[in-house]
Amino acid sequence: MKKKLDHDEVREVALLARLELCDKEVEEFATQLSSILGYIEKLDELDTDDVEPLAHSLPINNVFREDIPHECLSRDKALGNAPDADDEFFMVPKILDDNSNG
């Protein structure tokens, strides 16, 4: 491991992730994250020059069904299993308070 993450770097990551960490957690995460980054640095030792990039580990081509238009669900059927509906709309719980700016 080349470099251990310092506490300021851990606090910066926590801020970006919107996490509130106490000093003990900062110390613990600094050790853990440094260990993880050290392990990832081992991957730099691999010679990948002759390795072809891939998107999937198995030779799978498009496995999606054919895109054929078909009859849509009626509004009543679509809303039939909704826990709460109002006429033609799904009713969902409010997740923003009245003080939100958006």
**Does 11 score more than 80 pLDDT?**
yes
20 assigned to some structural domain: yes
Report field, pTM of the whole predicted structure over 0.85: no
pLDDT tens sequence across 39-79: 988 888 889 899 888 877 888 777 788 889 999 989 889 89
What pLDDT score was predicted for residue 10? 94
Structural domain that includes position 26: 7-45
Residues ≥6 apart with Cβ < 8 Å to 90: 79, 82, 84
Please give the backbone phi and psi of residue 77, each rounded to the nearest 5 degrees, phi first: -70, -40
What pLDDT score was predicted for residue 54? 82
- CATH code, 23: 1.10.20.60
21 assigned to some structural domain: yes
Total count of domains within the chain = 1
Average pLDDT score, the chain: 87
36 assigned to some structural domain: yes
